[in-house]
Amino acid sequence: MTTYIIYDSNYGSTRMIAEKIARSLPVEATVLHVRDVDPQALATVDFVIIGSPTIGGQPTEAIKTFLHRIPAPVHPGAQAAAFDTRLNWKILSRFSFAASHIADSLRQQGWPVALEPIGFFSKGARSGTVQSGELERAADWARKLAREMGN
């Protein structure tokens, strides 16, 4: 099974979560910054997990461009999942977050999305780190993903 975790990250929080998910999966997962992946390479991947910081309620431009360019999966049973990082500010809860947009784009490109998109809280907009307990929550989400993968 080929598993890719593709992320964008301006300050480091999203990369931190991507790496934690990779370490928490029982299968080997390749963690790649979005600028280092050719979208066409995704065609033959079995499981792809895509993560972005939330910027103005959306994924980053790099993630949005990438998602427009990915092909549908070749392997039957291939699945995807989406996460973001975001601020834990009550006022923002009325707006959208990156993960749901990522999940919508994945579905539009023909990728079934396993599990609900999820968000993890950063300590601050440019802190480059996440709130206490968020790495554990990422590990927990990874274990749920593993069950969706059949592990």
- Any contact of residue 91 with ligand FMN (CB under 6 A)? no
Distance of closest approach, residue 126 Cβ to ligand FMN, in angstroms: 6
| Angle 60-134-42 from CA coordinates, rounded to 5° | 45
Distance of closest approach, residue 101 Cβ to ligand FMN, in angstroms: 11
For ligand FMN, the binding residue among 11, 37, 46, 137 (CB under 6 A) is 11
Near ligand FMN by CB under 6 A, which window of 19-27, 63-71, 80-88, 137-145? 80-88
Pairing between strand 29-33 and 118-121? Answer: unpaired
Closer of 106 and 130 to ligand FMN (Cβ): 130
Output the CA–CA distances (angstroms, integers) from residue 111 to 30, 37, 73, 79, in the order listed. Answer: 18, 17, 7, 6
Closer of 78 and 138 to ligand FMN (Cβ): 138
- Any contact of residue 85 with ligand FMN (CB under 6 A)? yes
HSE on the CB side for 6, CA within 13 Å?
27
Residue located via tokens 């997990």: 49
For ligand FMN, the binding residue among 28, 35, 36, 56 (CB under 6 A) is 56
133: left (phi over 0), alpha (psi -120 to 50) or beta: left
For ligand FMN, the binding residue among 62, 64, 128, 137 (CB under 6 A) is 128
Helices within the chain (DSSP H only): 13-24, 61-69, 98-108, 134-149
Helices within 5-72 (DSSP H only): 13-24, 61-69
Near ligand FMN by CB under 6 A, which window of 71-79, 84-92, 103-111, 136-144? 84-92
Positions that interact with ligand FMN (CB under 6 A): 9-14, 53-57, 85-87, 92, 95, 122, 125-126, 128
